[in-house]
Structure 1
C-alpha cells in the first residue's frame, strides 16, 4: 500500500524521521559544546593568567567598565577609532603599558619606561631590569618611543588607579596569549623605503644617522631653566602635569613654587626647593591631598642631582610667570 496525497499512513514515518534528525542534531550540538570546554584544545583562559598580584579576570571587568571597546577592537570586535588591542601586550610589553595607561594623553619616553622597570612585578614578568634588553624583547615599544615619545595622543587621560592598571596589563597579557587563529591579519607593506622626512626634503636614514654621529662643537653650560624644560619633556612629565594650574593626572605646576600644599595626611607643606626635590625623587613621601599614591614613578635612581636641580629651577620659573 502506497502513501496517497494527503494520506495519513505516511505521517508516522515522517514524524519518526523528523525526530531522528532532531536527535542527531542535538547530539552533535552537545558534543561540540563539550568539545569547546576540553583542555586538550590548549586555549588559554583568563583565570590562568596574571601579572604580579593582578588577575586577568579582574582586568576584563576594568576593560568593560571603562568601555574600551567603544574605541578599540579586541579580536576584531568593537569600534575602529583606535587600534586593535588583541596582541598589544606582545608588541610593547608591560612596562610600556604601565607608563602609558596613567597618562594616555602623551606617548611614553625612554625614561618613563625605564622608571617602570624598577617595579619588581615588571622585572619578574619581563625577566629584565635593563631598558636596552626590554626594548630588544619588545621592539614595538622601541618603535613607538622613537617615533612618538613625548608627543600627544588622541586618547583621554582616564582615572585609572594603580590596581586597575595592573589588572588591565594582566588582561592584555591574556589576550596576547589567546589562539586567535590568525586574527587580526597582519599588514604587509612591500617596497617600503625606510627614509626620513626632513624639513628640507627627504633624506636616507643612513645620511641622517651620519649627520647625527658627526661631532658637535663644545657648547656652553646650559641654562638651568631651559635644561629643566627639556628634561620634563624628555622624561614624560608633561603627560601627567600641566605647566599652568590645570589638574591632569597630577597637580598643575603653575604657581606651585613656594605655595602651600595640602597633603593626604591632613598636614600642609611649603613647596620649596627641598619639598620639590623630595617629590621628584620619592613621590610617595608626601602625597598631595586628592591624588592617589604610587602612580608617579620613583626617579631617585633615574635623575642625577644636577637634573633634579634643573627641573626645580624650571618649576621656579613657572611661579615667576
Structure 2
C-alpha cells in the first residue's frame, strides 16, 4: 500500500520516527549534561594546586586584578605585547619568578635568583638548594639570566605584595600543569619589542637606544659606594627597598643611616654600620616595627665581607643626599 497525496496512511510511521529521534536526542542531551558534571578527567584544577601556603585560586584573582592579560596571553588568549605565560613556571621556576615579579623593570641577575633559593617554600617546592641544582631543573632560567640579567625589561614595576607574588607563582604553577594538548604552538624565534613594532608598522629597523654608560671597574673599585650601588642592583635589593624613604616590601633607605629605628619588640636602635651589617647578614635579628619577619633572605653566605661593607657605604651615601 502506497501513501497517496493527502493520505493519512504514512502519518503514523512518520510521527513515530519523529518521536524516536526526539527521544534519542533527549537521551544524548541528558547523558552529555551528566557527563559535564563529572569530575575532571585527569585535568588539573586550580583548587588542587598550591605553592607553599599560597593557593592558585587566589593567584588567578591577582592575575585578573592587575589585568595581566592586557599584555600577556594565557593558553593563547589575551594580548601579544608580552610572552605567553602558560608554561612560565615550568620554564623559569619559582625562584626566578620571585626575583623578577617585585622588580620587573629589570631582568633578575644570578645573585637575585640565588637569594631566593634560601626561601624554604621554594626549596620544598623544587628541592633545589643550590643555583647549580636549580639551573639543572630550570635551564631556561639560567639562559634568561645569562642573556638578560641586569638589563632593563619592558614590564613596569607593579606594587605587588609578598603574598600576591606567592599567589601569582601558585597560579603559574597551575597553568604549567594544565594539559593544553600542544596549545599554544611553540615559538621558535622570539622577536624583541622594537622588532614587533617595526613589523606591525611596516617601517625600517628602529635604531637601538643607547645604553647607559656602565660604571668603570676601576672607579667602582676605588669608590666603595659605587661598588655598593652595583651590588644592590645585581642582588635585586631595590625590589623590596626604595632608595628614598618610601615604604615598599621593606623599609626605605633614604636617610636611614644614622637615624633611630623603632623595632617590633618596642625597643629602638641606631642605624649605624653594625646594625646595617647585621640586618644584611641576619635580617631576622632585629625586625623593624610594622614589618613582618622572615621576608628578607639572609645574605650571610651570599655576600663577602667587603661586599657587605660596600653596600653599607652606599646606604651611607643615601643619607648624605
Please give the TM-score of this superposition, normalised by the length of structure 2: 0.77
Q: Helix, strand or coil for the counterpart of 2:269? A: strand
1:240 to 1:124, Cα distance in 2 relative to 1, 3 A? closer
Map of 1:42 onto structure 2: 42
1:219 to 1:74, Cα distance in 2 relative to 1, 3 A? closer
1:8 to 1:284, Cα distance in 2 relative to 1, 3 A? farther
Question: Does structure 1 conserve the Cα–Cα contact (< 8 Å) formed by 2:103 and 2:238?
Answer: no
Q: Helix, strand or coil for the counterpart of 2:181? A: coil
Deviates more, 1:265-274 or 1:299-308: 265-274
Once the 2 structures are TM-superposed, how far is the Cα of residue 291 of structure 1 from its aligned partner?
4.6
Q: Helix, strand or coil for the counterpart of 1:299? A: coil
Map of 2:233 onto structure 1: 233
- Tell whether 2:283 aligns with 1:269: no
1:77 to 1:40, Cα distance in 2 relative to 1, 3 A? closer
Once the 2 structures are TM-superposed, how far is the Cα of residue 259 of structure 1 from its aligned partner?
2.2
Once the 2 structures are TM-superposed, how far is the Cα of residue 37 of structure 1 from its aligned partner?
6.0
- Aligned pairs for 1:248-267 (under 5 A) are 248-264=248-264, 267=267
Once the 2 structures are TM-superposed, how far is the Cα of residue 16 of structure 1 from its aligned partner?
5.1
1:63 to 1:16, Cα distance in 2 relative to 1, 3 A? farther
Once the 2 structures are TM-superposed, how far is the Cα of residue 220 of structure 1 from its aligned partner?
11
Q: Helix, strand or coil for the counterpart of 1:228? A: helix
Q: How many residue pairs were aligned?
A: 295
Map of 1:131 onto structure 2: 131
- Tell whether 2:118 aligns with 1:118: yes
CA distance in 2, matches of 1:236, 1:220: 18
CA distance in 2, matches of 1:255, 1:185: 51
Q: Helix, strand or coil for the counterpart of 1:269? A: strand
Q: Which segments of 5 or more consecutive residues in structure 1 lack a partner in the other structure? A: 191-198, 200-217
**Superposition RMSD in Å:** 3.4
Question: Does structure 1 conserve the Cα–Cα contact (< 8 Å) formed by 2:119 and 2:297?
Answer: no
Please give the TM-score of this superposition, normalised by the length of structure 1: 0.77
Map of 2:180 onto structure 1: 180
CA distance in 2, matches of 1:180, 1:274: 53
CA distance in 2, matches of 1:129, 1:61: 30
Question: Does structure 2 conserve the Cα–Cα contact (< 8 Å) formed by 1:105 and 1:239?
Answer: no
CA distance in 2, matches of 1:26, 1:66: 44
Question: Does structure 2 conserve the Cα–Cα contact (< 8 Å) formed by 1:159 and 1:249?
Answer: no
Deviates more, 1:11-20 or 1:115-124: 11-20
Deviates more, 1:303-312 or 1:76-85: 76-85
Once the 2 structures are TM-superposed, how far is the Cα of residue 286 of structure 1 from its aligned partner?
3.6
Map of 2:313 onto structure 1: 313
Once the 2 structures are TM-superposed, how far is the Cα of residue 58 of structure 1 from its aligned partner?
3.2
- Aligned pairs for 1:1-321 (under 5 A) are 2=3, 4=5, 17-35=17-35, 41-189=41-189, 222-264=222-264, 267-289=267-289, 291-321=291-321
Question: Does structure 2 conserve the Cα–Cα contact (< 8 Å) formed by 1:161 and 1:292?
Answer: no
CA distance in 1, matches of 2:220, 2:111: 25
CA distance in 2, matches of 1:293, 1:105: 26
- Superposed CA deviations along residues 37-86 of structure 1, whole A, max 9, x for unmatched, are 66684322223323233332333333334333333221122333322111
CA distance in 1, matches of 2:65, 2:279: 32
- Superposed CA deviations along residues 158-207 of structure 1, whole A, max 9, x for unmatched, are 343333333322221121111101111101249xxxxxxxx9xxxxxxxx
Q: Helix, strand or coil for the counterpart of 2:261? A: strand
1:221 to 1:65, Cα distance in 2 relative to 1, 3 A? closer
Question: Does structure 2 conserve the Cα–Cα contact (< 8 Å) formed by 1:51 and 1:125?
Answer: yes
Deviates more, 1:75-84 or 1:290-299: 290-299
Once the 2 structures are TM-superposed, how far is the Cα of residue 23 of structure 1 from its aligned partner?
3.6
1:77 to 1:221, Cα distance in 2 relative to 1, 3 A? closer
